[in-house]
Amino acid sequence: MGITAEPLTAEQKAKIQAEAAKEEQEEKEKEKAAAAQAVADEAAAEAARKAAEPSTEDKIKAIVNGELLGKTNSDKGYLREVNVSTSGSQRDVQIKFNANDNLTSNLVQVGIRSKMSDLYYKLYNSKLPISSVTISAYLSLTDKYGNQADDIVYTTILKSDEAEKVNWKAEEFTVKSIVLPQLWSTTYIDPAIAVE
């Protein structure tokens, strides 16, 4: 006894072909959906990576905050304000900080210049896109009537075209104490701390 198969009718063949085509179409749609989901997942992952990375402004502010931690000898926080503005792809940075008071005008200036050098060194050595950094030091001054108020006593600016010429691989002390003070432009020194 053998099994004999009857030939398929045209209608049966068409039905089988239609089912196969339908299965093939469903498989293609599943593959397209999986590919689209993979693209969407990659885009979401890239967006999450970008969102997790701090912006240039945040990086600059973090450097400044790190350098101006703590308090002055008059118990004021060093950092007063840091502003970062965009100029094309570059950033202009304005820093205001409270300076330490000292016994003489010369010692006050030495302390202020040291802080300014630290800030310029860290910011320009970071290789972030900075076009200029302006730093203003504040100190509590007493007017002729005995009233005390914080005011700007020293302001300097260092632009990137000068900072780019610095050999940042040179010894740090030399760069901070000799090179940078010669490069920045002093835009204001209050007579109260001017060295005689």
Reported as a single tens digit per residue, the pLDDT across 18-61 is 787 788 888 888 888 888 788 877 877 777 776 778 999 999 99
- DSSP sequence for 5-46: PPPPPHHHHHHHHHHHHHHHHHHHHHHHHHHHHHHHHHHHHH
Q: For 165, which DSSP code?
A: T
* pLDDT tens per residue across all 196 residues of the chain: 566 677 777 777 778 787 877 888 888 888 888 887 888 778 777 777 767 789 999 999 999 999 999 999 999 999 999 999 998 889 999 999 999 999 899 999 999 999 999 999 999 999 999 999 999 999 999 888 999 999 999 999 999 999 999 999 999 999 999 999 999 999 999 998 987 6
Other C-beta atoms within 10 Å of 106: how many? 13
Q: Which of 72, 177, 51 is nearest to 114 (CA)?
A: 177
Instruction: Tell me the H-state helices in the chain.
Output: 10-52, 56-67, 105-125, 160-163, 172-174, 180-183
Q: For 125, which DSSP code?
A: H
Q: Which pTM does this prediction carry?
A: 0.74
Give the bridge partners for 96, in sequence order: 81, 136
